[in-house]
Structure 1
Amino acid sequence: MIGWLLGGLVALLVAFALLAPLESLRWWSSQGSVQTRRTLALTTKQPSTPPATTDAPGASPQPERYVVYLSGIGVVDGEGISLREQAVWHRVQKDLPQVRVIAEVFPYAANDRSLLQRATSGMWTWLDKRRYRHRESVAPYLINLRNVLQVLVSADPRYGPTFNAGLSLAIWDALREHGYVPGSGVPVTLVGFSGGGQMAVGAASLLSLLGVPVSAVSIGGVFGADPGFDHLQHFWDIRGGRDRLRLLGPLVFPGRWPFTPSSPWHRAMKDGRVTIYDGGPVVHEGRNSYFEGRRVGSDGVMPADRLVGILDTILGSPVPQTPLPPPCDRTPPRHATRR
């Protein structure tokens, strides 16, 4: 009996892995390539709008900075972030009223459709509820598995460009809905937790082509040496001292290995566009994690207080203006040119 169950789990895992890239490829072939070219064409043709023009009577003033938060792999939609995450971002928004925080983008779909907007929404809703009622159950971790595979798709040089193009357009639409003016030059910082770190870096390339000054923050992020690093003005990496899951990034992605000095990650390190922050003695998730706001850590500091302080420092200061690599040295953004 146990053998049959293990066999079924292995077969399910293989099926998930094989199907993972198909969603973004289907989106790209049906509408993604057209949407990407159209968005690029419309944006490049629009005249730049200085930030001052948005302060006219009746117009919403532009913030000094936009922040887009991309949550970890445990979410089923863009608004499903945990109460701990919500509390941290509420405090950051209160501390920095000049910054506009957006936390509604679902980062694990190229077509901007959450798991609750599909024909299989009933299954994902059931799994989402069950994991809180029956913590010993293995089935709800299918959500994590499904989203982890999308992180791998984003980091894959074969499928990543199409997936990241779709995510970039979803972020672009969210920015526009919250008042972002194309050509205004207002900086945008993508903040990714866990697998959201890779999604933040992956989305940077197309956003940069859309004229957005983009930077990124990783909170215990798992990410590869994505070409997006060549388009980031700066990258802040918040690392927990007891977070073992974040070590998967430098372990499984060859572009982050020491003997690949020409990768986008190592170029960003060499250029001084990477700043590393000590996130304290925190684990990746759960009790005493980055967003823990009820229990003091082993060092006597509330982890959420430390994280808010770091985010306030990063997001409340101007983005360092370190020159980006010359365009000829960047990896070509294939998703922006291929049909």
Structure 2
Amino acid sequence: MKRVFDWLHGTTFKLLSLAVVIFLVWGTLAPLETIIWWLSQDEESMNPDASQPDATSDDDSSTSEASVNCYVVFLPGVGSYDADNLTEEESNFVDRVIETHPYCVSVRDVFPYSAANEGLVGERILAPVWNVIRQSDGLAYTVINIRNIWRMALSADPRYGPVYNRGIASAIIDRMNAASPMPPANQRINAIVMSTSGGAQVALGAVPYLDDWLNAQVYAISIGGVFSGRDGFEQADGVYHLYGTEDWIDDIGWIIFPSRWRWVFGSPFNRARRQGRYQAIETGPHEHDGDRGYFGEETVDDGTKYIDLTLEKLNALPIWSVNNHSTKQE
């Protein structure tokens, strides 16, 4: 007992207590950035009703642009610090997806941990600090993870989530247009939002707004993602969660979010699961990241690369053709 008493009065415990307090205060202040951004927006930017242009008889889109009917949006995990900041493995993965599906274009410059789509090393007051941290290894870099985890929590929060997720959806549409101009509003498109880690929650949070603003089939693909069971399930044409047997991070979602517990029968997640609009698909012995992660180049016993196992499951999903039939809830 004396050891415990001494430890409670020791330096280690005091430092740990200070870290916990800072973590909680940081979380309390996390919504401020989103609230300030929201107050600076006008009606048009918050409600982009005309995301796709009206159809005209003299549409002069090029052949390559006109052939695009699919947008693959990739949202990275909580280790990201800027828009267009995919790792080499993630970029290779997205490249291979687009090679397999030539009518798709990739959108990889959305930062899912800022409603304004502003990276940590952009035009921010603390940009120099974040720039130093991002170049650090180990403990220092976890500060970025913690900061982004709080933004993921904002996305899942019913108080702040609607504003935050609306901002992300607006950024997604803006970058979709930048990747390839949107086809006319009478042309249905495929909007496939892929994500990993905490980006999965943000992706699902953006789905209702994408569904409202676009004439599109909207699919959410989680690759080892963490997400609640509240957002996006009723508006998406399909939600698919790819998971590896050696990935324990993706288990966090069903532990901390009651809306994913099986006995919460009326949650959007459980309704989608019972109706077949949500599917969890095992990809293989993937870990959450690294060489044996979903985008890893190491091989399993039969010589197949981990990235190829992921691509095999992804390409087999019934999401790649555009049709006028919707499976979402009205």
Same fold (TM > 0.5)? yes
| 1:204 equivalenced with 2:234 (yes/no) | no
Distance (whole Å) between structure 1 residues aligned to residue 62 and residue 266 of structure 2: 50
Distance (whole Å) between structure 2 residues aligned to residue 303 and residue 208 of structure 1: 32
Distance (whole Å) between structure 2 residues aligned to residue 16 and residue 263 of structure 1: 30
Partner residue, 1:18 = 28
Alignment of 1:35-50 (within 5 A): 35-37=45-47, 39-40=48-49, 42-43=50-51, 47=54, 49=55
Partner residue, 1:240 = 244
Alpha-carbon deviation of 1:255? Answer: 0.8
Distance (whole Å) between structure 2 residues aligned to residue 316 and residue 252 of structure 1: 29
Alpha-carbon deviation of 1:317? Answer: 3.1
What SS does structure 1 have at the residue aligned with 2:317? helix
What SS does structure 2 have at the residue aligned with 1:227? coil
| 1:223 equivalenced with 2:227 (yes/no) | yes
Mean Cα deviation higher: 299-308 or 105-114: 299-308
Partner residue, 1:332 = none
Alpha-carbon deviation of 1:315? Answer: 7.4
Distance (whole Å) between structure 1 residues aligned to residue 148 and residue 199 of structure 2: 10
| 1:310 equivalenced with 2:313 (yes/no) | yes
1:9/1:181 CA distance change after superposition, 3 Å: same
The aligned length equals 315
Per the normalisation by structure 2, the TM-score is 0.88
Partner residue, 1:61 = 66
What SS does structure 2 have at the residue aligned with 1:67? strand
Q: Give the % identical residues.
A: 30
Identify which of 264, 269, 289 aligns with 1:265. Answer: 269
Q: Deviations over 1:199-228 (max 9, x none)?
A: 111000111110242111110010111331
Asked if the contact 1:71–1:194 (Cα under 8 Å) also holds between the matched residues in 2, the reply is yes
What SS does structure 1 have at the residue aligned with 2:141? helix
Tell me the amino acid that sits aligned with residue 10 of structure 1. Answer: V
Q: Which stretches of structure 1, 4 residues or longer, exceed 6 Å deviation after superposition?
A: none
What SS does structure 2 have at the residue aligned with 1:191? strand
Tell me the amino acid that sits aligned with residue 8 of structure 1. Answer: L
Mean Cα deviation higher: 101-110 or 174-183: 174-183
Q: Deviations over 1:92-143 (max 9, x none)?
A: 2222222111111101111111111211111111111112xxxxx3121000
Distance (whole Å) between structure 2 residues aligned to residue 249 and residue 262 of structure 1: 17
Alpha-carbon deviation of 1:77? Answer: 0.6
Identify which of 119, 126, 150 aligns with 2:125. Answer: 119
- Root-mean-square deviation (CA, aligned residues, Å) is 2.3
Alpha-carbon deviation of 1:237? Answer: 1.1
What SS does structure 2 have at the residue aligned with 1:232? coil
Asked if the contact 1:168–1:207 (Cα under 8 Å) also holds between the matched residues in 2, the reply is yes
Q: Deviations over 1:132-156 (max 9, x none)?
A: xxxxx31210000010111111011
Higher relative contact order (CA 8 A, sep 6+): 1
Partner residue, 2:7 = none
Partner residue, 2:163 = 162
Identify which of 91, 97, 106 aligns with 1:92. Answer: 97
What SS does structure 2 have at the residue aligned with 1:69? strand
Structure 1: gaps of 5 or more residues? 132-136, 327-339
Structure richer in helix, relative to its length: 1
Tell me the amino acid that sits aligned with residue 152 of structure 1. Answer: A
Alpha-carbon deviation of 1:34? Answer: 5.4
